[in-house]
Each structure stands twice: as structure tokens, then as C-alpha cells.
Structure 1
């Protein structure tokens, strides 16, 4: 122990203590010290061309202004935050080096290509915000991964491949108010968090592998925060079932699946048997074909009154296109490939000599009688637009309806947006996405004009119903089927019935398809799948629209855009315009939502690149590019999605 004998000694020791207390501040405010710390941190990174202005010739900060890219600075010129987003960075996040930045409180490396386990963030105990979203981090976290980080308020780890349980130290953070873990592979039960039930500003653990009952302290949150975890139950999701009920449910599912398979086999055998019984009609058809020497004449005759009468008997395909022609027996005997099973029924690819066709089986088309069904299908057959998938033929029986289309080899828009790609394989670029959304809006506008009497002329507009030809031109599929689909089935599965107006009033409107187009715009710009479409019945909430709406009001607004969307240089302003259009389409108030004509016109005005004046204005906001926050100048309208 040091004994102080006089006032001189007292003053001496006070000066020493003051010097020690100010040492960290002195070091951190030293330009040379921070420069060397940041340059050492950069040396562990690769593909770092975005940080080319990090060098010894300038200071990182000038007061609150960052001279070096990707920094937040305090008034005294110290580095307060790292915002290294959308830079294509790789390498190592060297936490030990960052210990030299005494004022560091926030780290964001969102939308880069960092790999490996979670960095040792708990060495930086003073951090307030951590943003690691949309990288390639993997592995389980230690229970003490966040130990000692008592100041932490915001953690975003979404869009990685983290696995295992939520660390106990993370759940114990009492000041935590924002947590984003969605889109990983976390598993196990959800822990009891230390926060009060009303203390969350943002909470999302959707699309993981969590299981068990949702803790009561989280039961007041939106259901969208938990969707995509098949093992979760309890409020706000469906009630939990006892183990006995689960076993009975599994048995029921197995029995129903077997029954469905048997019914399918019986239906196919029935169709084949009926075809065999129609030999006389087949011979008459062959005789008719022999009288005509060209395929064009053959197909023309399939659409005449005689063919209509044969189709009425249920034994023939009815062709609505004059440039196609084949027999039902040829279709049934063709090599078939199962493409998938959707909400309406199964789809098959049939390889014919004239080209591949897609046969879609519908079991839920019994809302209208035979005559009305034929009238509606013939009306669909008369439609002609470059952005509609044309109906080729249909087959009618009371218990079975087949719709036949051309096969589109490039697949659906959903497969290009959401199927996991190989490393280095690019996603759809901005010009392609803009071309697709323009084609979709043109096709939807055509449907509005052709079906003025239909409240929802499409009714099921989503990315899996947008097919892409070899030039990536979009073709709308499964359109205008609401008049013939069974109402209960439609309300359970079709996109139009997940709109805000149906959720609130159980009524659709002339602007419902506009809402579906807005969700599709968000899906294309963000790369995120609208998870509420997987829910049966009314939409619990428009989680994708709500997410976009919340993000544009936060500091990290630019993170709304899909990191796999290349070719965005000089196009940020046009992307923001399309985002605005999507938000106007998704206004929850039907009165405030844009009309389809205005939407189509606004989309047509969009360009791949900003004008020189627009780009100069946009770029003047700084080096953050598309990751800057949106301002009132970007959106001069009210958003209530």
C-alpha cells in the first residue's frame, strides 16, 4: 500500500491516475495508432479493392467525417464503427487487431464472402451492434460465445449456415432488443431470453430447424418470426399436440398418401381403359386424318364442331390451339417425367415426337358444369400474348381434368431465385430481373383487359408460376382459373386469398392481383421467398412486405437488395424506383394501393441505368452505394404495407 504523507504527494498521485485514465483515449485518438491498427486489420482481408483508400497518406477520420471507406467516426476523430458491407470481402476477421480501436462499438460485414466459424466477438466486450448477415459462416457456437458483451443491443446473423443450439450467453444478454437468426440451420429448443416480453424491437428466427414449444415470453410476437421451423408449436403458431396425437397424425398422413397413390393409379388405368373402348372413334379419327395431307388441316379439324362433340363424350383431347395436334393415346403412351406436385395437382412432362408437353392434372375444378368449363377453356385458348403461357389442349371428365401446355425448359423464376447455386455461380443480374418484371406486368395488364369481369384476372401470381424461356422472357402460368377452381380449395391455397383485404374482410378486389405483383417485385429485389405463401388459409401477415417496410425505415436500408444480384452499377436509383413501386402495390389499404394501369406505366418507365444527373445525385451520398439508408427524397409517399 502507498502511504500519502503530504499534499505534494497527493497531487503527484492524482496526476499519475489522471494520466493512466486518459491513456486509452490518447492512444485511440492518435492518428498513427489507428492507421496502423486498421491497416493491419486490412492485411488479413482479400479481394479488398473497395478499401484501396486505406493508406498511410491520409487520416481515417476528420471529425465525424470518414475519409476511409466503410468507417463511422466520432467527433474526436476516433473510429466508432466498421461498415464494410457489399464489398465482396474475404479472408479473416482479426478480432485481436480490432482491440486497438478503443472506441469501436459497431461492426457490420453484411453481404460479403467470409467463411468459417463465428469470430471471437466476445473479446470486444463494448460492442453495441453486430451485423454478420449474408455471408458463409458455418458451424456451432460455444455457449460462452457472447459472454461479457453486456452492452450488446443488436445482433444480425441471418443468411449464413450456423448450426446447433442458440448459445446460453446470447439468450442471457439483457439489453438485446434486435435479433436476426433467420435462414440458418439452428436447431434444438428456443431458450428463455432475458429480455422482457415487450422489449423486442425486432426478432426473427424463421427458416431454421428449431423444435418444441415456443416460450411464453415470445408468444406475443408475429407468427412470421417463427415460420419455416417445422418442429415448432405453440402461440403464435399452431397449438402443440401430444405425442399420442403426433403418432396418430403420422399414421393418418401415411394412410392418406397411400390412398392418393392408389387413386392416381386407378385414374390412369381408367383413362387407358376408356381409351381402349373408344377404338371406333379412333378409327374414325385416323380416317379423317388420311383425308388431309397437311398437319395444319388436321389441327384445324380438331377445333371444329365434330371434334367438340367427341370431346363432350369425354374420350378425346380438345385442342384450343390450331398449331398443335396429337391423340390422347399418344399422350398417355409417351415417356413421362414427374415435374412436381403443386396446390392444384401433379404435373408431368410428356415427350412427344412433335415436342415435349406438360400435362397438369386438376382434381379441384368442379365449381362449374361441363358446358361452362368448356366455354372458359376455349376463352383461355383464344388469349394471345408474348408473356402468357398458351393453353394447348384440355381433357374433361367429371373426376379428372387435364390441361396441356408447351414445356418451358428454362424452368420457373422461383428456381432461379431460390435454388442454391454452386460457389461462384451468378444469380440473375439486375437487367434480367428488370426485363422479367416488365414482361410480368405486361402479361398481367393484358389479363386485366381481357377479363374485365373477373375480380382477380390472374389469382395465383407467384414466382413458381412465372416460367422463363431460353431468353429469360417471362411466361405467366396458371392464370384466370378462379372461375373454375373449387372455392374452398382456392381460398386455402391461391395467392389472391392471402392478400390483406381477404384477411380482413374475406373479399378480394380489382387490386388484389396488384398486391401479388408487389410481393413478386419484393421477392425479385430481395431474393427472399414470401414464406407466408406456404401457409394454408388466410395470410397471417405479409411477412415479406412487412420486412421490406421495416428495413426502409432503419439505418441499413440498402441491405434490402439481393446480394446475388449482379450488374447493379449505376442502377441503384432505378432499383429504388422499382422498390417504391412494389411498396405502392402492397399498400394494405385497397384505396391507397395503385391501380394496375398506373403500376404497368411506372414499370415501363424504368431503365437499367440511372440518368447521368440521377446517378451523380445518388453517388453524392457517399461510398456506401446501394447500402445507404433511404430518405424522404427517395420515397415521397406514405407507406402502410
Structure 2
């Protein structure tokens, strides 16, 4: 066997493998799998798959074995071209994962694919498959994920898919499917999309809980799209007797209202609305002045805002002065002022200017509510109104001065603060692009500008540098609340870390709900967070950047249907599937950065290690991100192969 004749070609190798498969005591199943894979290579990948026919298939690119059989075949974006013949993937009877996405495969799906009864994950998206979706796919009872998006499938959606009782993900968008959606009753289905098809009819009741984005550019009706004809229940008035109809009888009681009655109702309603509008204008003129007096009137907080406005009137401050030594200017005894940090470069204004500013709620976070405040002079600032702060004024000033002393390009600078018995305000620069959380998880429609690899790694590096600086100020200094909503973006998309130091001001009531999904497992008191706990939270943030998934999101990807946190979900997918399955689809379009994505994923997993002593320091994190970005920019990524597989294995073992 070791010295095959030189004239023995591909056909001879396949015949030899089939012969070995019939010999007792050998490895017949694995040999048969190898023959099927070589037939697949001959049909669609002869030029792109460097498989050595004389070696074990378990060592081939994209092939994973278990218990002496091929259990996974992952060849995404490798350049496969042509139609998949029968007796290839259909002969891999132990196959659990088949990923051939982002290739140029065409024609019908192989008819014997349904023979892979162990198949759990089938990823065929972004190819050129055509014909009808085989009803025989409904016999794959173990299937959990099915992605056929971005092909040219035609015909209807086979109702046999309703037999896939374990199915959690079904993506059929961007095909040429027609007709109605079958009456699916897939109780485990968690992700579904049929957008951009020629489907019509009513959306089945079981699928009406999915968002409208799952049904875009179709003629479907029913929630969450427009109501279907006949679904609007008649109004109670329409169901009553038609009083003026002499034709009466049982039938006339169910007639619709006449045109005159409808017109009368419309005129009466319009008059009522007009009266309400006039009353509202009169009331607004009376209370408008008081509403613009106080920033805090934007949010109802259970207690009346009037005392705050009155206190502001009594406690006007000029905000001027300063000691010239880099410390905040101290107000005179008994005065309450907006205290600016000297040398901050921020425009000066007084408390009255701030209270008169038009305000817009930006968000409600762990430590309080953030506002965008536009002053009359045209300056825009961000104001955080703190809650649950129980410190004396002296204690508060000492802690705030520590925050104000932090000076780094990747931190949102604290410009000023205000303290009174009723209100504690912090004034920051306003960053127009908002938070990373909004950028990642906001509008995902067609008008969205995708976050590319360069932008995401730039955000990761800038945030890491900001956190590293915080850690460098003291051996015990930590941020304490790292999450994507606390990473803000300047107009250049440069990231800056916000809410730094606010853990020093946190009261006990604001602690329990902090950083859901980001909290390190060893943290019991969220007011006492270590630097290693910050590293864990940053690791989750990196996973969020790479996957596009929010850590607080319940992900139904495990077999028992329960939600898992983001680090455990990533590790479970890496252990079972090729690493790229975890990446955000917006990143997968950049095939040239795939190796760097895997390296950053490895760093994220290292940061989110279960035990603190296994996590790197933030200085190490910064260095590794810089190295990854340098490699990406120079184009010196390592080719996919054994080293790529070893990185995947390392992540799975982490």
C-alpha cells in the first residue's frame, strides 16, 4: 500500500478504497467516507482542495472525525464550483455538520442528502443552488440549524419541514420561493427568515411572533405585517341594529354603518380632537416656562421636579474661578455652583444655563439617567443625573476629583459637576455617534452601514487602551462596569470609555443589576470589582464585537432550549462547529481577515476565562490587539490549514 504504482490514478485510488471497505477487520466506514469525499472533490473542488488521497481523511482540510467516522465537513468560502453529485455527501452517514456556505455550488441538492440521518447543522447559504427544496429534508429529524439563504431555490416551501421538531434556526431568505408558508408548528424555532421571496398568503400563527424583518419584501400578510383581508373584526357599532332602516329584520341588524353615520362620527371626532388641541396649547403656555427651567423635568422620577427647580433658582452659580493647579475650583462656603475642572478646555456656563437647556434623554443606566443638553449659547453637553448617592458633599467631591483627574484620549472627560442635597450632576463632552451598543444592535436594515473589520478592531484597541490607562493609575483601580453601552464613539468613530470611576459613587441599590452578561463569575459585590474582572468584561465585549450578539440576549442554541451567556455559547459552537460559525455575517464578507478574526476570538476567550489568574492583563490585551491589527494591515495572515485548525482547537479547549 505504501508504494502505489505511478500509473495508479484517481479512479484506482477510489477503487482501492472501496475494496478496503469490504475487508473485515479494517476501517470500512472511514474508508467509505474517504471515497465519498474524494468523489466530492473530483466533482466540485479538484483545484481548491489539497487532500492527500494516501493519507487519513481526518487530516484533510475541513474534515473532522469522531469515533472512526467523518462527523463534520466545513468548507466555507473555499471556491467550490459545480453540482454536488449523488453518493458523495449523502454517503457520509455519520455526518453531523455540513457547512459549504459562500461557494459557487449550483444545481439541485443531492437527492440522497436525506440519508445523513445524524445531520444536525446544514449550512448551504450564499451559493447558486436551484430547483425545489427537497421535501426529503423533512426526514432529517435531528436537524437543529438549516440555512439555505442566498440561493436560487424555487417552488414552494415543503410542508415536510414541519417534521423537523428539533429545528431552532430556519433561514430561507433571498431565494425565489413562491406560494404560502406551510402551517408550521415548530415549537423550538427561535430564528426564522423568509424575506425577499415571492411568498404570499397569511403568516402562520406560530410564526407571528417573529419581527417584521423576517418577512421583508414579500406579499405575506398578518402580524407583524399588515392585516390579511377579513382579519379586522367589525366594530361594536357596526354589529348593532341599523335603527333607521325600515327593511329591518334579522339581516339588517348586521349591516355596516351608512356613509352618513360614518361621516358624522368623523366630524364629531375631529371636533373633539380640535378642542383637546386648543386646551393643550393653553396649558402648555402656562407651564412651558417651568418645563424649561429644569433639566430634570425631562424625566418623571416619582418625586415632584418643582423643588429641584426652586433649589436651582436659589443656588445660582457662575461656574467661574479656579485654583490654577489642575484641581476643580472650590465654591465659596454655603454656595452651590457648577464646578468646572481647570484646564479642561470646555466652554464655561453656569448652573442657570444648564437648567434652561433643552434636554433629551439618551438612556437610563446603572448609575442614573444620561441627557443630551443643548445650551442657549449653542454648546451641547452630556449630563448624567446620578441616583442612589449617599455621600456627604465632602466625600462626593473627593471621589469626583479622582475621576476628573483621569486624562486619556480614550476616556470621555469629566468637565464639571454639581452637588446639592437633592441633585448630583456630572457634565461630560457629548459624543455624536452614541454608543457601540447602538451601533452594533441598532438598525440592521438595508440602510445600515456595516461595521467592517478595520472599524471593529480600531474600536477594540481604543477601548482597551482606555481601560489599560485606568488600571495603570493604581494597582486596585478598575472600571467596574465595562459594556458596549459605555463605549462611546466620537465623530471619527474613535472609541472612548465612559462611566469610568462611577463605581466609586454607586449606592447599594444600583449594584445588583449592573452589567448583566458582562459580570465575571467571581464578582459578588459589584461595588468591588478587580482589574481581572474588568478583563473578563472586556473579553465579553470583544465577543460582542465579533459575533454581533448582545451578551444579555437569550440565545437558544443549546439542545435543551435554555438560554446561555455569550462566552459559553461561543465555546459550545467552537467545540461542535467550525470557528467561523460564530462570527457576525457582516464580518464574514471579508474573507481576507478570517485568520485575524480567529486570533481576536482566541484573545476574547482568554479574557473571558473562568478563573481570574488565567486572564491576561489589559497591557497584554492591548499588545495582542495591536499585533492582530498590524498583521491584518500587512496582509501577512497565516494560510488556512493545520495552524488554523490548531487555533480552533485551542479555542474549543479554553
- Shorter-chain TM-score bucket reads 0.5 to 0.7
Q: Which residue number corresponds to residue 266 of structure 1?
A: 304
Q: Deviations over 1:102-143 (max 9, x none)?
A: 86776834664999xxx8553434546464359589xxx999
| Deviation of the 1:438 alpha carbon | 0.7
**Alignment partners' CA distance in 2, 1:449 and 1:496:** 25
Aligned in 2, Cα 1:484/1:610: closer, same or farther, shift over 3 Å?
closer
Q: Which residue number corresponds to residue 624 of structure 1?
A: none
Q: Which residue number corresponds to residue 213 of structure 1?
A: none
Q: Deviations over 1:334-385 (max 9, x none)?
A: 222222222332222111225210111111222x322121011112112111
What SS does the corresponding residue of 1:552 show, helix, strand or coil? helix
Q: Which residue number corresponds to residue 433 of structure 2?
A: 410
Q: Which residue number corresponds to residue 17 of structure 1?
A: none
| Deviation of the 1:266 alpha carbon | 2.6
Give yes or no for the alignment of 1:557 onto 2:582: no
What SS does the corresponding residue of 1:392 show, helix, strand or coil? strand
What SS does the corresponding residue of 1:332 show, helix, strand or coil? helix
Q: Deviations over 1:456-500 (max 9, x none)?
A: x11111111101112211000011211210134223324598321
Q: Deviations over 1:254-286 (max 9, x none)?
A: xxxxx996546733x33332233346x66xx8x
Aligned in 2, Cα 1:272/1:588: closer, same or farther, shift over 3 Å?
same
Match of 2:365 among 331, 334, 342: 342
Structure 2: 5+ residue stretches without partners? 1-34, 61-74, 93-97, 175-179, 195-202, 213-296, 556-561
Q: Deviations over 1:69-124 (max 9, x none)?
A: 189989965655863424599xxx987x6548686776834664999xxx855343
Q: Mapping of 1:76-115 within 5 angstroms?
A: 77=88, 83-86=99-102, 98-99=110-111, 108-109=122-123, 112=126
Q: Mapping of 1:69-218 within 5 angstroms?
A: 69=80, 77=88, 83-86=99-102, 98-99=110-111, 108-109=122-123, 112=126, 120=133, 122-127=135-140, 129=143, 131-133=145-147, 135=149, 144-146=159-161, 156-157=169-170, 167-168=184-185, 170=186, 181-182=190-191
- Greater relative contact order (Cα 8 A, min sep 6): structure 1 or 2? 1
Q: Which residue number corresponds to residue 95 of structure 2?
A: none
Are the counterparts in 1 of residues 548 and 584 from structure 2 also a CA contact under 8 Å? yes
Q: Which residue number corresponds to residue 267 of structure 2?
A: none
Give the structure-1-normalised TM-score. 0.61
Are the counterparts in 1 of residues 504 and 527 from structure 2 also a CA contact under 8 Å? no
Q: Which residue number corresponds to residue 576 of structure 1?
A: 598
Are the counterparts in 1 of residues 567 and 608 from structure 2 also a CA contact under 8 Å? yes
Are the counterparts in 1 of residues 389 and 505 from structure 2 also a CA contact under 8 Å? yes
Q: Mapping of 1:461-610 within 5 angstroms?
A: 461-494=482-515, 498-502=519-523, 508-531=529-552, 543-565=565-587, 568-607=590-629, 609-610=631-632
Count of aligned positions: 478
Give yes or no for the alignment of 1:355 onto 2:376: no
Q: Which residue number corresponds to residue 460 of structure 1?
A: 481
Bigger drift between 63-72 and 104-113 goes to: 63-72
Are the counterparts in 2 of residues 580 and 635 from structure 1 also a CA contact under 8 Å? no
Q: Mapping of 1:402-441 within 5 angstroms?
A: 402-423=425-446, 425-441=448-464
| Deviation of the 1:549 alpha carbon | 0.8
| Deviation of the 1:504 alpha carbon | 11
| Deviation of the 1:578 alpha carbon | 1.0
**Alignment partners' CA distance in 1, 2:563 and 2:163:** 37
**Alignment partners' CA distance in 1, 2:148 and 2:486:** 27
Are the counterparts in 1 of residues 570 and 582 from structure 2 also a CA contact under 8 Å? yes
Are the counterparts in 2 of residues 490 and 497 from structure 1 also a CA contact under 8 Å? no
**Alignment partners' CA distance in 2, 1:262 and 1:613:** 54
Give yes or no for the alignment of 1:632 onto 2:646: yes
Give the structure-2-normalised TM-score. 0.60
Give yes or no for the alignment of 1:276 onto 2:289: no
**Alignment partners' CA distance in 2, 1:480 and 1:575:** 31
Bigger drift between 490-499 and 515-524 goes to: 490-499
Q: Deviations over 1:305-327 (max 9, x none)?
A: 995134x6462111124322111
**Alignment partners' CA distance in 2, 1:302 and 1:165:** 74
Q: Deviations over 1:593-635 (max 9, x none)?
A: 223333233223222545989645x2357xxxxxxx9633445
Are the counterparts in 2 of residues 447 and 458 from structure 1 also a CA contact under 8 Å? yes
Are the counterparts in 2 of residues 439 and 473 from structure 1 also a CA contact under 8 Å? yes
| Deviation of the 1:517 alpha carbon | 0.3
| Deviation of the 1:330 alpha carbon | 0.7
Q: Which residue number corresponds to residue 422 of structure 2?
A: 399
| Deviation of the 1:447 alpha carbon | 0.3
What SS does the corresponding residue of 1:393 show, helix, strand or coil? strand
Are the counterparts in 2 of residues 416 and 427 from structure 1 also a CA contact under 8 Å? no
Q: Which residue number corresponds to residue 365 of structure 1?
A: 389
Structure 1: 5+ residue stretches without partners? 1-28, 39-50, 172-178, 191-205, 210-258, 286-297, 535-539, 622-628
Q: Which residue number corresponds to residue 625 of structure 1?
A: none
Q: Deviations over 1:165-202 (max 9, x none)?
A: 9934x46xxxxxxx662487999889xxxxxxxxxxxx
**Alignment partners' CA distance in 2, 1:164 and 1:467:** 42
Are the counterparts in 2 of residues 125 and 148 from structure 1 also a CA contact under 8 Å? yes
**Alignment partners' CA distance in 2, 1:88 and 1:309:** 71
Q: Mapping of 1:58-77 within 5 angstroms?
A: 69=80, 77=88
What SS does the corresponding residue of 1:360 show, helix, strand or coil? strand
What SS does the corresponding residue of 2:576 show, helix, strand or coil? coil
Are the counterparts in 2 of residues 392 and 404 from structure 1 also a CA contact under 8 Å? yes
Are the counterparts in 2 of residues 314 and 397 from structure 1 also a CA contact under 8 Å? no
Are the counterparts in 1 of residues 546 and 601 from structure 2 also a CA contact under 8 Å? yes
Q: Deviations over 1:525-570 (max 9, x none)?
A: 0000011699xxxxx9961000011111112321111111267343
Are the counterparts in 2 of residues 570 and 609 from structure 1 also a CA contact under 8 Å? no
Q: Deviations over 1:219-267 (max 9, x none)?
A: xxxxxxxxxxxxxxxxxxxxxxxxxxxxxxxxxxxxxxxx996546733
What SS does the corresponding residue of 2:80 show, helix, strand or coil? coil
Aligned in 2, Cα 1:133/1:608: closer, same or farther, shift over 3 Å?
farther
